[in-house]
Amino acid sequence: MKNRTAMFMTHTLLIVFGIIWIYPFIWMISSSFKTNSTFLTSGINPLPESIHWDNYIRAWEVANFSGYFLNSVIITLSTVLIVITLSCLTGYALGRVKFPGRKVIITIVVALMFIPSGYTIIPLYELMKMLGLSDSLFGVILAESSGAHILFILLFAAFFSRVPQEVEDSAAIDGAGFFRTFAKIILPTAKPVIATAAIMQFIWTWSSFLVPLVLTLNSPELRTLAVGMLSFVGRYQTDWTGMAAGASISLVPVILIFILMQRYFIEGISGSVK
Amino acid sequence: MAKKIKSGNGISKYNRNKYIWAYIFILPQIIVFFGFSLYPIVMSYVYSFYDWSGIGPLTNFVGLKNYTRILTESSFWNAFGNTFVYTAGFTVVSISVALILALVLNNPNLKGRGIYRTVYFLPVVTTMAIIGIVMQNIFGTQGFFNEFLKAIGLIDQSISWLSNPILAMILLIIIGSWKEIGITMIYWLTGLQMIPREVYEAARIDGAGSWQTLRYITLPLLKPIGATILLLTVVSSMRVFDLVKTLTEGGPYFATETLELYIYRFAFAPDGPSQVGFASAAGVVLGLTVFIISLILGWVVYKVSGQKRKPLGGGIK
């Protein structure tokens, strides 16, 4: 009996705190359906009296969230593709092939990882200027893809090292070369790892702020949602419901993706402390 | 490098082919790493020795002048102090709340654990910069939070949360922690799941109550992963930028300006001409500070874990 009361209490607390926990999102979505006048008079009532899509239309068309959204999608998907390709190939080589110099490369990269870094966004910005890529989406994508991706490389290397040698041997007997064995036989089995890395990188890049902020300082048309939002509230300071609509446009896609793919994401996070 | 391999029989020719492929496979990552990670790190030091506005060639080498200026610049030390206040607050709040959540959610008899975990993890996946703007609205003078407190009768007059230096810092810490607690909770849950079930059973047979089990079994066994979590939490919060930029912009009167924001201001949003050299020097000081702190905490991790835990890289033997 005592146990059941305790369980009931636990659930009550978890639910009450849970609602408070995600209330900012409830507030954001409900405000995005209000009009600016009812927003001020409705006080704390979260329910809009009727659903207004005007805020979304205004944010999408007038405040250029359509452009920001497209930029965010292009940058995020390209970055995910590049990062997954790089770390998957590297993980395969490190995990499956005991090539000479392998230990040296691992040691050098890990050692370099620990170098204290200064304010690297300035050189990155200068580098993009030198390459003629400032003011282009490709520059932002390259900058977002930088880094050593140690976590993903480790995930891939661990996975590929566990594939039995017989799989590779029998592919070789069938006449498949190194690349065919990788691409046609072993890579398809790595789907869970690819999913984990892809979802993590997706959420990171979608939420990235400093890199797109700096690299699009002179080109407002290249802004992502996170950066565009800041300029929106700078320009339309009293358009609260437009702000809420813009925020919902930025957050709802990533929240939905997380809810659908959370297993992979949480596995990835917990893998990083192990 | 491939030439070093002894050739002669079929196997080694097969191996040699494999080695060449392996080099091809790692080449793109190496290029990206050296070009877009290592080069910026090296240059972030180089710029710090110049007086440079960011435009034109690097010509005005000033040696350590930017660094000596930092020593006497009180605005820098203000930001330095704010960064430590934020880090301390963030670390205490997020580690302890995340531990409580993890202990509650680790109970196998609790129904709906997965749903609760999703709910409490949700803020993690959202964009910090957007959260800053939404929260600025919620905690504005006429914002939702004041209206709510008035409605339940806790206050009569609206409070200017973000115009008060102390309240603004507290808010920054609470919102920053709220946003990241989900990650720390998963870290703790991972640690809890690494504790073998038999340990709990043995404790129960010995007649330990749930409080005693927590105090004498669970918490001591969590120490090694706790040290790792401490390291990750401290290091990540020292570079806080997105939230500060969007929620308080360092205000009121620089009371919440952290180092990353300070550096950004000198490099990209100055009152006068950009001071990229000086900003770079401040960036190096921040980088070295984070480095020293991670060395100390890394040493703690090493000591607490009794050298048993593998460091990063369980996958590569």
Complete DSSP assignment for A88-151? HHHHHHHHH---TTHHHHHHHHHHHHTS----THHHHHHHHHHTT-TTSHHHHHHHHH-S--HH
Number of A–B residue contacts, CB under 8 Å? 270
Distance from the Cα of A44 to chain B's closest Cα (Å) equals 6
pLDDT exceeds cutoff 80 at A141: yes
Q: With cut-offs at 50, 70 and 90, classify the pLDDT of residue A236.
A: confident
Query: For B75-88, what is each residue's pLDDT tens digit?
Result: 999 999 999 999 99
Most confident of A187-196, B103-112, B134-143, B164-173: B164-173
Q: With cut-offs at 50, 70 and 90, classify the pLDDT of residue B167.
A: very high
Query: For B282-306, what is each residue's pLDDT tens digit?
Result: 999 999 999 999 899 988 888 887 6
pLDDT exceeds cutoff 90 at B55: no
pLDDT exceeds cutoff 60 at B313: no
Question: How confident is the model at residue B272, as a pLDDT?
Answer: 73
Q: With cut-offs at 50, 70 and 90, classify the pLDDT of residue A80.
A: very high
Question: How confident is the model at residue B56, as a pLDDT?
Answer: 75
Question: How confident is the model at residue B6, as a pLDDT?
Answer: 46
Closest partner residue to B18 (CB to CB) among A89, A90, A97 is A97
> Which residue, B33, B178, B231, is CA-closest to A272?
B231
**Which of B15, B19, B27, B29 best tests the A interface by mutation, with the highest count of A CBs <10 A?**
B29
Question: How confident is the model at residue A47, as a pLDDT?
Answer: 77
Give the residue, B249 or B310, on which the prediction is more confident.
B249
Which residues sit opposite B50 in a β-bridge?
B61
pLDDT exceeds cutoff 60 at A272: yes
pLDDT exceeds cutoff 50 at B310: no
What is d(CA A41, CA B142) in angstroms, rounded to the nearest whole number?
11
Provide the percentage of residues in chain B whose pLDDT is more than 70: 93
Residue carrying the six token digits 């960011």: B54
Residue carrying the six token digits 């000086």: B278
**Which of B5, B125, B242 best tests the A interface by mutation, with the highest count of A CBs <10 A?**
B125
Query: For A154-170, what is each residue's pLDDT tens digit?
Result: 889 888 888 888 888 88
Question: How confident is the model at residue B291, as a pLDDT?
Answer: 92
Burial class (CB in 10 A: 0-12, 13-18, 19+), A135: middle
Provide the percentage of residues in chain A whose pLDDT is more than 90: 24
Whole-number average pLDDT of chain B? 85
pLDDT exceeds cutoff 70 at B307: no
Cβ atoms of B240 and B83 within 8 Å: the answer is yes
Task: Kindly give, in sequence order, each residue whose CB lies less than 8 Å from that of residue B302, ignoring residues fewer than 6 positions away.
Answer: none
Question: How confident is the model at residue A98, as a pLDDT?
Answer: 85
What is d(CA A82, CA A145) in angstroms, rounded to the nearest whole number?
7
pLDDT exceeds cutoff 70 at B3: no
User: Phi and psi (nearest 5°) for A46?
Assistant: -75, -20
Cα torsion B241, B245, B246, B250: sign: positive
Average of per-residue pLDDT across A86-94:
92
Whole-number average pLDDT of chain A? 86
Question: How confident is the model at residue B242, as a pLDDT?
Answer: 92
Chain A residues with CB inside 8 Å of B134's CB?
A: 24, 27-28, 243-244, 247
Nearest CA in chain B to A126: B54
The CATH classification number of A64-235 equals 1.10.3720.10
Provide the percentage of residues in chain B whose pLDDT is more than 90: 36
pLDDT exceeds cutoff 50 at A72: yes
Q: CA-CA distances (angstroms) from residue B139 to A132, B169, B194, B252, B276?
A: 42, 13, 40, 14, 34
Asked if the peptide bond before residue B252 counts as cis, ω within 30 degrees of 0, the response is yes
Question: How confident is the model at residue B5, as a pLDDT?
Answer: 44
pLDDT exceeds cutoff 70 at A274: no
pLDDT exceeds cutoff 60 at B309: no
Query: For B146-161, what is each residue's pLDDT tens digit?
Result: 888 888 888 888 888 8
Chain A residues with CB inside 8 Å of B5's CB?
A: 100
Question: How confident is the model at residue B98, as a pLDDT?
Answer: 95
